[in-house]
Amino acid sequence: MKAIKTAAKQQLKQQGFNLVELLLTLIIASFLMGYALPSYQRMIEQQTQRSELARLQAVLNHARLMATMNNKKLQVCASSNGQQCDASAFLSGNLLIITDDNQQVVHFSVGNGYPIVFNSPTIGINPLPKQSLGGTLLPCTSFSRIEPKGVTVSAVSRVRVNDKISATLKALCPN
């Protein structure tokens, strides 16, 4: 009987964690969280930026295609209601494509809630082979852990991601 009681006591002593094991586990977990959390936040910022850049590229490529197909000059601008250009609507991230001559709406792209700043009030898109002034759009996602990237429209309306953003354009972002 005594052998059973000592075996039961030994089994109880071996169950659970002692204080040193628990502290060591907490130290390792906090170290991993301290390393992993900033990496995770950086990854989220990169994904958000990539998503918004892809949306802007799609809208601008759509404008380029529509300008060439219809042989009309188009404008891309910020809009709050999808009916007219509104320079103060850049906070919504909505983009409007309109004809240059009679301001007819061609396409309205609803934003993802991130502001988009322009280096000019509108970006003109000419049908090929005509040239325009071009311009840059900068989606104001978060820049706390990553460098900002924008979408640049060249003089021949070619759309490219640009990682050399001017300080003046960065300063226009509200975040």
Q: For residue 160, what pLDDT is reported?
A: 92
- Give the three-class secondary structure for 115: coil
Q: What is the pLDDT of residue 59?
A: 92
First to last CA, the chain: 74
pLDDT, residue 4, reads 66
Residue type present at position 16: G
CATH topology for 15-171?
Answer: minor pseudopilin epsh fold (3.55.40)
Q: What per-residue confidence (pLDDT) applies to 144? A: 80
What was the pLDDT predicted at 1? 60
Q: pLDDT tens track of the chain, all 175 residues?
A: 666 666 666 665 667 778 888 899 999 988 888 888 888 888 999 999 999 999 999 999 999 999 999 999 999 999 888 888 887 888 888 899 999 888 899 999 998 888 998 888 888 888 888 888 888 989 988 878 888 999 999 888 889 999 898 888 888 888 6
CA gap 140, 40 in Å, rounded: 19
Query: pTM of the predicted model, to two decimals?
Result: 0.77
Please report the pLDDT score of residue 39 as a whole number: 84
Q: Which two tokens stand for residue 3?
A: 């052998």
The residue with tokens 């509104």 is 86
User: Rounded distance, CA 83 to CA 131, Å?
Assistant: 26
The neighbour count for residue 142, using CB atoms within 10 Å, is 16
By the 8 A CB rule, do 120 and 90 touch?
Answer: no
